[in-house]
Amino acid sequence: MRPEAQRLHLYNSLTKEKETFTPLNEGFVGMYVCGPTVYNNVHLGNCRTFLSFDLVYRYLQHLGYKVRYVRNITDAGHLENDADSGEDRIAKKARLESLEPMEVVQRYTVDFHQVMAQFNALPPSIEPTATGHIIEQIAIIEQILESGYAYITNGSVYFDVVRFNEDQSYGKLSGRKLEDMIANTRELAAQSEKKNPQDFALWKKAEPRHIMRWPSPWSDGFPGWHLECTAMSTKYLGEQFDIHGGGMDLKFPHHECEIAQAEACNKTSPVRFWMHANMLTLNGKKMAKSTGNHILPGALFSGDNDKMSKAINPTVAKFFMYQAHYRSILDFSNDALMASEKGFYRLMDAVALMDQLPASPKGTSSEIDVTAWRQSCYDAMNDDFNSPILIAQLFEGAKFINTIADGSTQVNQEDLALLCQTMKAFLFDVLGLTPPQEGRQDHDHLKSAMDLLIDLRKSARANKDFATSDAIRDRLQEAGIQLKDGKDGTSFSLKNPNS
């Protein structure tokens, strides 16, 4: 499909409006997403963000765009406090576990990749690390110092937010006014080496006990957390690119600082479309380790937790997440996931029928408008990647499939092919769902058992033992399994538990 065949509209966090998406370079999209800080196991809230942008990536590719998707790994510089204080999160984890910092990085980078693979998320085009781009970060600091928007204090370099705000607008993404931020700040100037509490670190001089350090023109130290994304996004996507994504919690200060850094260096706004995914809650409350209202992906998948009644397959969890719009808060609960699982298998049951669907005789017209339904799927995704509306349309497609299968709806060969192609494209290519392996195994086991029962019933009928034959049929029907006798033999189907 040519990209211009569908008009895509995105909600831009910068303008607070939906806008028609037109990339800077025709046919090409540059997208940067803030990746994980790899000091701990990736949590479900992070996963939701990355799956939201996996959906964006997949759909842009489906439309025919060539996408360069950059998602970083933060392996240094992310301090415990956004006010540039506390320990480096990775260094602290290394100290607590008596490991080298890069052992911590390796362990949790592997965990992150394994979890995303279980969710069937596509890897990004480039996955750069903060420690791999120290030289680029130092070069940007030098540019910002030359522009007059930064200053050096005791071997550390800080971005001068007040000075920058005289020429530009700090706070445009989050909607915050610098005057209000200053008025609400209680920190005393004497307690900090910054000129203003709102200033943020570009380079921090390392304390003697700080083990993650690099040489620079100002001191042995480490880059500020915000700087790495500016360095890596501009290196791989240019001074201005199409889409920058991340979690809602990164809007301020992280993304606000990215904008300021880029504008100080390049005198242009770095990103045309800012996109932010919303948070997850668990049983109606914020997820937090401190309160125990928390569940890791591995515990969700294995069932080793006290929040869910059973193990949840990763693709079911992914399907559940897509049943809410990426900008909406989503609540994880056992009941909601169980309902989502039923819906997912209903779609998979319909998909399993597609290869055997009968087309109406040549020359007859279809009783459903497949072309209009197909466009409704695109309309949903073109409206700021509205996955819940898309899924509603896919259930409509499943309904078409079931009525074609039972002979109550006629559809010609061309429309049947379009229906099946569209279902597969959106379920597997765009949403990135996969039929769970254990579901296929369960089906195979059921089929083997049913083949045996059907043979036993056939033998009973051949021996005129109709009591046994009827008993097998009736007991199966009570269990929700319908037998159907036809000229090609006996087949079975599962009754919909929700019908």
Structure tokens at 348: 């998979």
* Integer Cα distance of 246 and 276 in angstroms: 5
The pLDDT > 90 percentage for the chain reads 76
CB 108 within 8 A of CB 38: yes
For residue 479, with 0-12 CB atoms within 10 Å meaning exposed, 13-18 middle and 19 or more buried, which class applies?
exposed
- The stretch 57-74 carries a mean pLDDT of 98
pLDDT digits (tens, 9 = 90+) for 276-329: 999 999 999 988 777 878 899 999 999 999 899 999 999 999 999 999 999 999
pLDDT digits (tens, 9 = 90+) for 131-188: 999 999 999 999 999 999 999 999 999 999 999 999 999 999 999 999 888 877 755 4
Neighbouring CB atoms inside 10 A of 186's CB total 5
For residue 382, pLDDT over 90 is answered with: yes
For residue 486, pLDDT over 80 is answered with: no
- The stretch 254-265 carries a mean pLDDT of 97
Neighbouring CB atoms inside 10 A of 439's CB total 19
- pLDDT of res. 487: 61
Q: What is the pTM of this model?
A: 0.87
Query: Of 273, 242, 275, which Cα lies nearest the Cα of 29?
Result: 242
For residue 360, pLDDT over 70 is answered with: yes
Query: Of 238, 281, 247, which Cα lies nearest the Cα of 53?
Result: 247
Q: Mean pLDDT in the chain? A: 91
pLDDT digits (tens, 9 = 90+) for 361-381: 877 899 999 999 999 999 999
- pLDDT of res. 171: 95
Q: Is 205 in a helix, a strand, or coil? A: strand
For residue 184, with 0-12 CB atoms within 10 Å meaning exposed, 13-18 middle and 19 or more buried, which class applies?
exposed
Q: Hey, what domains does the chain have and what are their CATH numbers?
A: 3-277 (3.40.50.620), 281-430 (1.10.730), 437-494 (no CATH)
pLDDT digits (tens, 9 = 90+) for 107-145: 999 999 999 999 999 999 999 999 999 999 999 999 999
User: What angle do the packed helices 437-462 and 334-353 form, to 10 degrees?
Assistant: 60
For residue 150, with 0-12 CB atoms within 10 Å meaning exposed, 13-18 middle and 19 or more buried, which class applies?
buried
For residue 76, pLDDT over 70 is answered with: yes
Structure tokens at 238: 């240019």
For residue 102, pLDDT over 50 is answered with: yes
